[in-house]
Amino acid sequence: MIATPAGSQGTKAADSPVAVNGKAPAEMSKLYPRIGHWQVIIRTLPGTGLPQGGIDKGVATITSGPGGYSVVQDFSSHGDGGDEVGQSYTWWDVSSKSYKSVWCDNQQGCSEFTTVIEGSSWSTELDGVADGKKVHTTIRASMTSDHNCIHEEVTASYDGSPPRTETVSEYQRVIPGVGQDKQPSCKK
């Protein structure tokens, strides 16, 4: 929702987002390398949901939120895991001195969590319930130094069982309007 001053006629300036204090926290700079367009390959390892495992392909578009105070991700994928559409917001929370996020998707609803960032890697841990079982999920990701590739692994522990890797995802930056031969590569 965009606030419009009383008496405004909906001018371009009045319709623009306005920063509260005019400057986003410096900690936001750790999130900005994620901004861009990404192709995503998600490999699901064999398990209860997909006994043979599977592959999903998706896209993620990550943008700066109003005033640079957040990053916003729009995500969609399709394949063996079904069709997924999700959106997230991540920001630096000054009061708790931590990165906070909310993620919502069409398969599992919404989750709030905290992310720890160390250099070009980050991790998230969250608790929930799936199929009547308590599940502890850990997400670990790292970005290459050129900011063109992200490797992400998701592990889960159900009802206190040992954690097991469920998915391994590879994100590759896509530059709109650039030919395939000029796109960044994640091949080693």
d(CA 183, CA 178): 7
Q: In which element (H, E) is residue 116 found?
A: strand 109-118
Q: Which residues neighbour 18 within 8 Å (Cβ) at sequence distance 6 or greater?
A: 3, 66, 67
Q: State the pLDDT at residue 49.
A: 79
Instruction: Quickly tell me which residue has 């495992």 as its tokens.
Output: 53
Read off the amino acid at residue 117: I
> Could you say which residues of the chain have pLDDT below 50?
1-20
pLDDT tens figures, 78-120: 999 999 999 999 999 999 999 999 999 999 899 999 999 999 9
Is the full-model pTM beyond 0.95? no
The three-class DSSP label of residue 14 is: helix
Task: Report which of 121, 27, 12 is spatially closest to residue 69, judged by C-alpha positions.
Answer: 27
Task: Report which of 155, 176, 139 is spatially closest to residue 35, judged by C-alpha positions.
Answer: 176
Burial category of 152 from C-beta neighbours within 10 Å (exposed 0-12, middle 13-18, buried 19 and up): middle
For residue 124, which phi and psi values (nearest 5 degrees)? -140, 140
DSSP letter for 30, please.
G
168 is written with which tokens? 């391994």
Q: State the pLDDT at residue 187.
A: 79
d(CA 115, CA 118): 10
Q: State the pLDDT at residue 15.
A: 34
Q: State the pLDDT at residue 86.
A: 97
Q: In which element (H, E) is residue 15 found?
A: helix 12-15
First CA to last CA distance, the chain: 44
d(CA 141, CA 149): 10
d(CA 121, CA 33): 12
